[in-house]
Amino acid sequence: MGITVTKIDHFSGHRQSVYDLHAVDANSFISVGGDGMAVLWRCAEKDGTLVAQIPAAIFCLEIHHDMLFLGTRLGEIYSLDFKHKLLKNQSKADNSALFALHHDGNSLWAGGQMGRLMELDPVSLELKSFVQVSDKSIRRLYAQGEHLIVCCSDGSVYVYDKASRKIIAQQRCSDNSVFAWQSRNGAAFTAGRDARIHQWEEQTEVQDVNAHWYTINDLSLNPELPLLASASMDKSVKIWQELDLKLLKVIDKERLEAHSSSVNRLLWLDAERLVTCSDDRSVQLFRIEMN
């Protein structure tokens, strides 16, 4: 298998690091960053639209219909109608930074530096329930049916059952922080501070690849093709063959005029377009084509 990567666009406007991305539709997305800005970008347009400016660094976001949820360095959550740029609510959810948000249609889930998984009412932002998952940070949340996958800085991935409101499984994945998890066709992939990609089947590790020089901040499976993308503090994005983790392409400054600092998040808009964001304050768009 071979792939060709082409840089399509470079979006600038953020004044500090860009930490998270979320698709709005197939041709637009929102980015957030350390400057407290949430910016809507359309692929056909060079300039973004500021949809929110808040007085704190934004580490994570979630979108549900027309509602935008922002999690900040100070433990606050803001909810906005981003189509009309209207602030709906804000709440002090925790005493330290929030790193992950997830809306399941009924509740808003949040996790952060305190290691608490919190369930909130998505309208009032009032706390409905919480569980202390770890004494270390919660870094990411992923949906898996009626469960939430919780990645933590204690080196473990936890499975939280929403019906019973209990942790029902824990898998030790690393000696360091786990920042990302992906799963498909019975296999799961984890990555984090150890700079390695771990592949799992059930509770058994079947592959362990020395993938980057420094921390892996994100993993993302292509929605249609057997490709896995990784983003790292080493300033690069790498594209891997999903089945055997064979390296197919390196996206970096030298080869493709890509990012000049840590790459923090990945977003597939479709099978061929990959969005990336970085500490270099930019958002970039690449075309990934199978040969």
| pLDDT score of 193 | 98
Instruction: With CA atoms as reference, report the closest residue to 148 among 109, 114, 179.
Output: 109
Collapsing DSSP to helix, strand or coil, 201 comes out as: strand
| pLDDT score of 202 | 84
d(CA 217, CA 264): 5
d(CA 134, CA 271): 36
| pLDDT score of 159 | 98
d(CA 1, CA 168): 39
| pLDDT score of 1 | 76
User: 254: part of which helix (H) or strand (E)?
Assistant: helix 253-256
Share of residues in the chain with pLDDT > 70 (%): 100
∠ Cα 99 101 103 (to 5°): 175
| pLDDT score of 291 | 87
Band the pLDDT of 259: cuts 50, 70, 90.
Answer: very high
85-116 per-position pLDDT tens digit = 999 999 999 999 999 999 999 999 999 999 99
Q: What is the pTM of this model?
A: 0.96
Residue 60 corresponds to which amino acid?
C
Give me the mean pLDDT over the 61-88 stretch: 98
d(CA 187, CA 53): 39
Give me the mean pLDDT over the 193-214 stretch: 95
| pLDDT score of 44 | 87
| Mean of pLDDT over the chain | 97
Residue 223 corresponds to which amino acid?
P
Distance (Å) of CA 262 to CA 125, 214, 218: 32, 9, 11
Band the pLDDT of 203: cuts 50, 70, 90.
Answer: confident
- Residue with the bigger pLDDT between 44 and 268: it is 268
| pLDDT score of 267 | 99
148-186 per-position pLDDT tens digit = 999 999 999 999 999 999 999 999 999 999 999 999 999
Domains of the chain: 3-290 (2.130.10.10)
| pLDDT score of 12 | 97
d(CA 39, CA 82): 10
| pLDDT score of 280 | 98
